[in-house]
Structure 1
Amino acid sequence: MSHAIASLYRLLLASAPSDPSAPMLISPDGTRLSHGEAHHLAGRLARGLATCGAVPGDRVSVRADKSPTSVLLYLACLRGGFVYVPFNTAYTEDELAYLIGDAEPAVMVGRPEDEAFLNAQAARHGARAVLTLAADGGGSVRDLMASERCEGAPADLRPDDLAAMLYTSGTTGKPKGAMLTQDNLAANGLALAEAWRFQADDVLLHALPLFHAHGLFVACHTTWLAGASMLWLPGFDRDRVLDLLPQATVFMGVPTFYTRLLADPRLTAERVAGMRLFVSGSAPLLAETHRAFEERTGKAILERYGMTETGMNTSNPYDGPRRPGAVGPALPGVSVRVVDEEGAEVPAETVGDVQVKGRNVMKGYWKLPEKTREEFTADGWFKTGDVGRIDAEGYLHIVGRAKDLIISGGYNVYPKEVEDVIDALDGVVESAVVGVPHPDFGEVGVAVVVTRGAVDEAKVLAHCKAHLANYKVPKNAFFVVDLPRNTMGKVQKALLRDTYKGLFAG
């Protein structure tokens, strides 16, 4: 891992099993896609995208349901040097329109029912092609792949060429494109495969979405770099997961997956006897969930810590204590430090701002050079926006978030974005959205609203549902005369969180 890697795809090709018939994906119906077949089809699809006018460095935006074809599309983009830009399937047209305008994709891929909307966006922003991809893997993407008889050669790339761009929001509410390079993704994937002891005989039960770094990078890259296989589910379904666990060796999930599995008596030590690793991420895992899972199954969940801009930064050890409430030491090739307000590193057990450095850290934010500079220190460390402490044994503990981010069911919800939508509703003076604990989703948003007219909870929530993905919609709306503020006029969200923290308790 000492040398920068110029092409993630060439690394994946080199890591593929010597037997090309070895399975890469196994669908619930038993259908298999081999490693050899996957790379052959990805080569044809890469050539097809080129015939649509895409050239290396162009963005290919994708808002499609998870299917084997969607994996081939990702591999095709890596092979052709096209920048893969996934969008959450829950996004509304308002949200998509902004992202498309910002990313300026050369090719847009969407569900068949999105085609008219995407064609209008293509005309507006100059995209060269619109393709469809249905939930069953059908559509013009598959037709394009079938129509190409030859494979496109893997593109010649440099380590700092972009491989993917994932959007993440901030306190401004405007999503930013995190530019992830070939070397960012390759170095992080190799670090994880090494840290988590992935081998060719591993079988990962994949129930995560593909538009998120967890399901797309962490799950897929570690599996492919070991030449291993995946049991492929279109999404998390507790019954299917429980049925398939005896056939798997690794499972990756968000904390919500684990609380739902624990709620089912079929989760037993016998059922998971063949599992060697359970990984949790994308949101904090409650210590009580960690302990309950180990008591029930005899398996300790391995929790790790990462973010869109950096990939994975730390991980509880594969061999060694996996501590509830901690996210472990830094991964190989990654440095983590905790600093005070002046930027000076603090002693062990001292709470401060978490910063990271390494080949995993993004190139920057798309078209936002000033924002990129703001998020890095003068000596090259990335400011995560998280608050934490490193204990005497080197384990990082995340204790809070500097930017009031809400993580609900593993998905990031940025209060400012939701507040902007609520504030646009006629009759609303202002609003504040805060996260409160929830037994299933980890946390959920609630809105506290000041009004001057006939606005009720149903109206606020319906307005949010019309303009935001469902996971961003607050669970409740409460009405107050004034929002609490400090002497500087800043809304005291800590007070609001404290007021409503017991809403879903018990």
Structure 2
Amino acid sequence: MTDSKPWLSSYPEGVPAEIDLNEFSSVNDVFDEAVRNYADRPAFHNMGTTLTYTELDQRVAQFAAFLECKLGLKKGDRIVLMMPNCLQYPIALFGALRAGLVVVNTNPLYTPRELKHQLQDSGAKAVVVLDNFGATVETVLKELKVPHIITSGLGDQLSGLKRPIVNFVVKRIKKMVPAYSIPGAIRFNDALAAGKAQNCSRPKVEHGDTAFLQYTGGTTGVAKGAVLTHRNMIANMQQASAWVGRNVEMGKEIIITALPLYHIFALTANSLVFMKFGGLNWMITNPRDMPGFIKELKKSNFTAITGVNTLFNGLLNTAGFSELDFSRLHISLGGGMAVQRAVAERWKKTTGCTLVEAYGLTETSPAAVINPVTLAEYNGAIGLPIPSTDARIIDEEGNEVPTGNPGELCIKGPQVMKEYWQRPEETAKVLSADGWLRTGDIARMDEAGYFYIVDRKKDMILVSGFNVYPNEIEGVMVAMPGILEAAAIGVPDEHSGEAVKLFVVRKDPSITEAQVKEYAHGSLTGYKRPRHVEFVTELPKTNVGKILHRELRERELAKQ
């Protein structure tokens, strides 16, 4: 077996080659078992308030009952969650899953255009949105009807005086809540109160049922919903927990959750895996506030942290971080984008804990390849395929390449998505009939079964761990009066890994860089907006007129 899977010989002691898929029949089972085993242990903490597993369970039951009995939502209906990390998120998440709904995670910073596509494509029946982003929902509702809207203030689930104080400061002092009006919207706390009086039967949820529509970009530039079933999510939770499980103390782990839980990395690695361990998710609402982030770390007594390279780099470059107590920290996991060696080495020197790189995709729920968490030093690899996962590297004709040679990385395992939502042609492009997922990433494997990323998908830009696709940006920007053609590429950026650079062929010679950026601001989320704009007389193209993004990248690298 190790001949076809050489990585098994490199597995850490005690890690199995295969995981048990039948231990749980749904994500709801995982939640229920955690409540039984860790009833009085803390489950989620945010802004000074902690919910135990029992307290979380009570609120989850109320929210599920409200969705099912008061709103009349049925198993399989889609519900959009549009919130940053706050206590309302896990309540809404596990409540929706308990009611048999499909959760559609949505970036709360989406523009109306981006949100409209996701609502329309998913056929959402309900939206849960934080007040800060209510104005965006209001704008979309003028064009698109969604039956049920649930709104909440950031502090609504905080205890005691924290609730009114936080809501007042956010709205009145910091002016973070633009005015909006959604007639008929229900307040989150009112929904919980209404659900408390209901007695609903829980729908039966099984492996094959869809748990999430997790939207991701694509080569067409149109966001597609990766259909992740309960089986997919259970599989990846079992795989990841088997990988790190011998290094954790059940019921005693505290993981820093700074990445948003609407992102697949934190959703699985933090929320689900550490729930199985009976751990505490210490949620950071605004990790960009680095001094505030460090104050939270100081209070937390944390044992584990996940993040992207830019987050680790930001912490290392913020005063006070090196003075923290790292004596309990034993897992530092980096994913979402490449971990830079300089950052990893400085992290180890500062914290004493190796920054371990992992690799995954939205389409793999997300983990596929992870380095051993017992790694002594950063090794430049993305790691070994995790239990019950097969990996191979193929050439352009689909043939496996010899060990050490680069090619396209393909993944097969129970964590691989079912399909793209209502897009059979897009699904067929990446998923073979026998279950192999083409990642589009160029990689190589060494003799010990460690994988290394050589290059990323041809045109994709990676900004702070988020996929940005040039075609989407270009499609938006060429609609600007005065622009004839546009091409977007990623350029190195010390803060976000990469930043978007837009090459523009002008139709109106008078348009300026400031005008281009202003136009982008109205239609693109912050991380997708061009940070650099260069006006050119023409764009390099193939003989059939396709823009050569690679040539633009090569020109840019030559300049630098």
Query: TM-score if structure 1 supplies the norm length?
Result: 0.94
Q: Which moved more, 1:171-180 or 1:229-238?
A: 229-238
For the residue of structure 2 that corresponds to 1:360, the secondary structure is coil
The aligned runs of 1:395-434 (5 Å cut-off) are: 395-434=450-489
Are 1:319 and 2:366 counterparts?
no
Identity over the aligned pairs, expressed in percent? Answer: 28
The alpha carbon displacement at 1:3 in A equals 3.6
Match 1:141 to one of 169, 172, 188: 188
The aligned runs of 1:435-474 (5 Å cut-off) are: 435-453=490-508, 454-474=510-530
Does the 8 Å CA contact 1:59/1:83 hold for their aligned counterparts?
yes
The alpha carbon displacement at 1:336 in A equals 1.3
CA offsets per residue over residues 339-373 of structure 1, 9 Å max, x none?
11111111211100111011101110111122212
Gaps of 5+ in 1: none
The aligned runs of 1:75-474 (5 Å cut-off) are: 75-112=94-131, 118=137, 127-137=146-156, 140-149=187-196, 150=198, 152-197=200-245, 198=248, 199-236=250-287, 237-245=289-297, 247-268=301-322, 271-310=325-364, 311-321=366-376, 323-453=378-508, 454-474=510-530
AA partner of residue 331 (structure 2): L
Distance 2:397 2:217 in 1: 25
Q: Which moved more, 1:371-380 or 1:466-475?
A: 371-380
The alpha carbon displacement at 1:251 in A equals 0.8
Gaps of 5+ in 2: 1-18, 158-185
Are 1:493 and 2:549 counterparts?
yes
The alpha carbon displacement at 1:19 in A equals 4.4
AA partner of residue 229 (structure 1): L
Distance 1:468 1:124 in 2: 18
The alpha carbon displacement at 1:414 in A equals 0.9
Distance 2:73 2:473 in 1: 35
AA partner of residue 237 (structure 2): G
The alpha carbon displacement at 1:244 in A equals 3.9
RMSD over equivalenced CA pairs, Å: 2.1
Residues 61 and 364 of structure 1, relative CA distance in 2, 3 Å threshold: same
The alpha carbon displacement at 1:241 in A equals 3.4
The alpha carbon displacement at 1:286 in A equals 1.1
Distance 2:522 2:135 in 1: 19
Does the 8 Å CA contact 1:61/1:87 hold for their aligned counterparts?
yes
Residues 314 and 152 of structure 1, relative CA distance in 2, 3 Å threshold: farther
Distance 1:483 1:328 in 2: 38
Residues 286 and 120 of structure 1, relative CA distance in 2, 3 Å threshold: closer
Does the 8 Å CA contact 2:345/2:378 hold for their aligned counterparts?
no
AA partner of residue 184 (structure 1): N
The alpha carbon displacement at 1:97 in A equals 1.0
Match 2:79 to one of 60, 63, 68: 60
Which residue in 2 is equivalent to 1:71?
90
The alpha carbon displacement at 1:17 in A equals 5.4
For the residue of structure 2 that corresponds to 1:97, the secondary structure is helix
Are 1:39 and 2:94 counterparts?
no
Distance 1:313 1:422 in 2: 35
Distance 1:485 1:274 in 2: 54
The runs of at least 4 aligned residues of structure 1 exceeding 6 Å deviation read: none
For the residue of structure 2 that corresponds to 1:147, the secondary structure is helix
Residues 125 and 266 of structure 1, relative CA distance in 2, 3 Å threshold: closer
Does the 8 Å CA contact 1:431/1:450 hold for their aligned counterparts?
yes
AA partner of residue 497 (structure 1): R
For the residue of structure 2 that corresponds to 1:384, the secondary structure is strand
Are 1:14 and 2:33 counterparts?
yes
Distance 2:134 2:405 in 1: 53
Residues 482 and 121 of structure 1, relative CA distance in 2, 3 Å threshold: closer
Residues 127 and 76 of structure 1, relative CA distance in 2, 3 Å threshold: same
Distance 1:223 1:151 in 2: 30
Query: TM-score if structure 2 supplies the norm length?
Result: 0.85
The alpha carbon displacement at 1:121 in A equals 5.3
Q: Which moved more, 1:287-296 or 1:471-480?
A: 287-296
Distance 1:267 1:456 in 2: 41
For the residue of structure 1 that corresponds to 2:540, the secondary structure is coil
Distance 1:302 1:188 in 2: 18
CA offsets per residue over residues 31-57 of structure 1, 9 Å max, x none?
220001101110110010112121111
Which residue in 2 is equivalent to 1:48?
66
CA offsets per residue over residues 448-480 of structure 1, 9 Å max, x none?
111121221111111111101011001110011
Distance 2:557 2:518 in 1: 23
AA partner of residue 363 (structure 1): K
Distance 1:502 1:287 in 2: 23
Distance 2:243 2:358 in 1: 11
For the residue of structure 1 that corresponds to 2:37, the secondary structure is coil
